[in-house]
Amino acid sequence: MAKSISSQKPQKSLIKILKKHSGRDRSGKISVRHQGNRQKRYYRIIDFKRDKYDVEGVVTKIEYDPNRNADIALIEYKDGEKRYILHPVKLEIGSKILSSKTAEIVVGNALPLDNIPVGIEVHNIELYEGQGGIMARGAGTYAVVVAKDGYYVHLKLASGEVRKFNKKCCATVGRVGNIEHKDMVIGKAGRKRLMGIRPTVRG
């Protein structure tokens, strides 16, 4: 089943206004060059911590997020709460997900690295326990569990680096979706301007 990006408005309780700074600092001077004039957008509040433990959720929508190159999925939990998560490959509308130490090794489930078998692809990986995932969050990215060594789990990152993580850190099973993002053609200068990227002049 192909993913279907929703054309509906985002969940109102999970968005906030994203201010434009056009690369200026508080004194009005340019601190970051080549930024400005981007389209108005709302920030989607993403659940990177996946800390709703042992409560099953269902994917109700897959949405475009203008703030990142990955798509996002709206999850509705049994207690009625809704949250956004990064949309992994093969997670479809109607799929059930769970965050738990005893969760099955199924795409979209979040669990500690110690409970994930060697050879499994993961994303949204924590560097410190309870911090929330900060690694392997871009479109198409993932890491592979390659070894377990006492208190640490070794992951091979997209860069090829093998890095060790605390075994209590959580990660989500699967790879981030929207893999075809790398093949995107901008097409014209005007689209870059809508993205908030101003020209870079040389000479």
Domains of the chain: residue spans and CATH:
12-186 (2.30.30.30)
Which residues, 6+ apart, have CB-to-CB distance to 9 below 8 Å? none
pLDDT in tens, 78-106: 999 999 999 999 999 999 999 999 999 99
User: Strand 170-173 relative to strand 121-123: parallel, antiparallel, unpaired?
Assistant: antiparallel
- Per residue in 180-196, pLDDT (tens digit) is 999 999 999 999 999 99
pLDDT tier for residue 2 given thresholds of 50, 70 and 90: low
Cα distance between residue 123 and residue 27, in whole Å: 38
Distances (CA, A) of 41 to 23, 64, 66, 69, 201: 16, 12, 7, 14, 27
Contact 152, 164 (CB under 8 A): yes
Distances (CA, A) of 70 to 83, 86, 130: 16, 7, 23
Whether pTM exceeds 0.85: yes
Check if the beta carbon of residue 133 is closer than 8 Å to that of residue 48: yes
**135 contacts 125 by C-beta, under 8 angstroms:** yes
C-beta separation of 146 from 118 below 8 A: yes
With cut-offs at 50, 70 and 90, classify the pLDDT of residue 1: very low
Tokens 């890095």 found at: 163
